[in-house]
């Protein structure tokens, strides 16, 4: 009798074990659809499958993620949320307040996330003290990328001041080269704007304006100067920029049609995916001025029903913050690991520069969340600012009028 019971228990154990191995499921909503991004997310899919998981991919094209957020809201409202969603910054907290996020603290504590993530990064991943999201990387936003051959042929060094940038752009324009590759989409306008703002306002001024929403800073003479520089930048963009995707602008720099692009280091992922070598084919340097604007990709976990989906969620969280994925993913993506214990020996010179600058900025208080990429402000406030930036960039609006509109828009969004 005892032997029979032992056999029955063993059979059940095998069945349960088999179900667990076959069970983890994850439907993942993200907007990584360009070359370098698609290659990066494929790494996570492969690791998930290797651990017995079934991955359902739900990519929604659009670099800024706006279309993905529209799709997400429709899914949540229908009571059918995806397992994991590419979310970041205050958007994570907004969804938490809707009561739809899952608690993944068990995974975070078992894997020791608090010991390997910078406190500032970890803070974005927590919802009232519980872990609700998993960080993938740290992107630097305030980069200038350049075609090395174009600059060398025209006797131009990478600019370290905005006056140098403007002089270089005028020289390139006279030579028939597009100075600045840009896509006329709101989030791309905002990316250039905040890079300019960091350089002109300085780290403290940037924090006051785009984190604290300080009216005096928003209406200051320096903010007028920011819009003046944006007007100058508009003159360095080609006439066909409207609606162009960011990776197509990156391709313009790659093929020598344009000299510069101001974009986060996901652009580097495009260069690397095309076999380009940093320091030889393309150059990288932070935009003029001090400070470091960060954009952290992360996945928030949504409340789901079913043991298979919950198991998939936990496995996904474990893999995302795992050392191997953090290294391989960021080598493909162009960013640097969120974990501080991942060796950067295999990373390129731009990534090592980014890591060094992040450490220095963290130490001196100039490590700042990107407003344009959803790290600093909630949607209503960031959207209000970007609307003004885009309206100014695409019209003859004066800088003084733009500053007044900016202050009014922020006040009305509160």
Helix extents (H) in 24-143? 35-50, 66-77, 90-97, 105-111, 113-116, 119-124
In Å, what is the CA distance from 58 to each residue of 33, 72, 313?
10, 10, 15
pLDDT tens per residue across span 58-86:
999 875 678 888 899 999 999 999 999 99
User: Topology of 21-139+296-347 in CATH?
Assistant: D-Maltodextrin-Binding Protein; domain 2 (3.40.190)
From 3.40.190.10, 3.40.50.10300, 3.30.360.10, 3.50.30.30, which CATH number describes the 140-294+350-413 domain?
3.40.190.10
Same CATH fold, 140-294+350-413 and 21-139+296-347?
Answer: yes
pLDDT at position 34, please?
78
pLDDT at position 363, please?
83
CA 199 from chain centre, in angstroms, equals 20
Rounded CA separation 130/137 (Å): 20
**What string of pLDDT tens digits covers the 414 residues of the chain?**
444 333 443 343 333 444 444 589 999 999 888 777 788 889 899 999 999 999 999 999 875 678 888 899 999 999 999 999 999 899 999 999 999 999 999 999 999 999 999 888 899 999 999 999 999 999 999 999 999 999 999 999 999 999 999 999 999 999 999 999 999 999 999 999 999 999 999 999 999 999 999 999 999 999 999 999 999 999 999 999 999 999 999 999 999 999 999 999 999 989 988 999 999 999 999 999 999 999 999 999 999 999 999 999 999 999 999 999 999 888 888 899 999 899 999 999 999 999 999 888 888 889 899 999 989 998 899 999 999 999 999 999 999 999 999 999 999 998
Which residue is associated with the tokens 């995302």? 320
Report the half-sphere exposure of 280 (CA within 13 A, side-chain side).
Answer: 5
Q: Which two tokens stand for residue 165?
A: 């940038």
Question: Are 332 and 269 a contacting pair, CB within 8 Å?
Answer: yes
Residue 34: name the closest of 279, 258, 335, 251 by CA: 251
pLDDT at position 362, please?
82
DSSP string, 195-250: HHHHHHHHHHHHHHHHTS--HHHHTSHHHHHHHHHHHHHHTTB-TT-BT--HHHHH
pLDDT at position 22, please?
53
Give the containing element (helix H, strand E) for 176: none
pLDDT at position 106, please?
97
Rounded CA separation 126/105 (Å): 9
In Å, what is the CA distance from 130 to each residue of 108, 125, 402?
9, 8, 41
pLDDT tens per residue across span 325-339:
999 888 888 899 999
Report the half-sphere exposure of 135 (CA within 13 A, side-chain side).
Answer: 27
pLDDT at position 12, please?
38
pLDDT at position 329, please?
87
Domain boundaries, the chain: 21-139+296-347, 140-294+350-413
In Å, what is the CA distance from 370 to each residue of 4, 77, 195, 238, 306?
64, 29, 9, 26, 36
The pTM assigned to this predicted structure is: 0.83
pLDDT at position 391, please?
98
Q: Which two tokens stand for residue 227?
A: 């819009």
């Amino acid at each position: 009798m005892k032997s029979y019971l032992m056999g029955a228990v063993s059979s059940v154990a095998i069945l349960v074990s088999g179900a667990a191995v076959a069970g983890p499921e994850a439907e993942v909503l993200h907007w990584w659809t360009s070359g370098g991004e698609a290659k990066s997310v494929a790494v996570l899919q492969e690791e998930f499958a290797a651990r017995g998981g079934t991955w359902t991919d739900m990519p929604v094209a659009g670099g800024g993620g706006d279309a993905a957020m529209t799709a997400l809201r429709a899914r949540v409202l229908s009571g059918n949320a995806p397992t994991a969603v590419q979310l970041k910054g205050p958007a994570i907290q907004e969804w938490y307040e809707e009561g739809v996020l899952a608690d993944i603290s068990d995974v975070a504590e078992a894997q020791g996330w608090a010991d390997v993530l910078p406190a500032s990064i970890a803070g974005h991943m927590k919802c009232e003290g519980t872990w609700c999201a998993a960080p993938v990387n740290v992107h630097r936003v305030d980069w200038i990328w350049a075609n090395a051959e174009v600059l060398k042929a025209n006797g131009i060094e990478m600019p370290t001041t905005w006056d140098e940038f403007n002089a270089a752009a005028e020289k390139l324009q006279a030579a028939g080269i597009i100075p600045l590759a840009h896509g006329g989409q709101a989030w791309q306008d905002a990316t250039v704007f905040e890079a300019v703002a960091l350089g002109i306002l300085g780290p403290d001024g940037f924090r006051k304006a785009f984190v604290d929403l300080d009216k005096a800073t928003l209406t200051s003479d320096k903010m007028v100067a920011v819009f003046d520089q944006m007007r100058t930048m508009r003159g360095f963009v080609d006439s066909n920029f409207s609606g162009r995707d960011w990776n197509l602008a990156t391709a313009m720099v790659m093929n020598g049609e344009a000299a510069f692009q101001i974009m986060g280091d996901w652009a580097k992922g495009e260069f690397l995916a095309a076999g380009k070598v940093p320091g030889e084919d393309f150059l990288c340097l932070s935009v003029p001025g001090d400070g470091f604007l960060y954009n952290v990709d992360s996945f928030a976990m949504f409340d789901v029903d079913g043991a298979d989906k919950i198991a998939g969620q936990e496995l996904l969280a474990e893999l995302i913050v795992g050392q191997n994925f953090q290294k391989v993913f960021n080598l493909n993506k162009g960013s640097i690991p969120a974990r501080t214990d991942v060796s950067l020996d295999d990373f390129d010179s731009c990534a090592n520069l980014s890591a060094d600058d992040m450490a220095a900025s963290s130490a001196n208080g100039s490590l700042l969340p990107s407003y344009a990429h959803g790290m600093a402000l909630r949607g209503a406030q960031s959207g209000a600012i970007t609307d003004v930036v885009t309206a100014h960039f695409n019209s003859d609006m004066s800088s003084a009028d733009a500053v007044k509109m900016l202050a009014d828009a922020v006040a009305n969004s509160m």
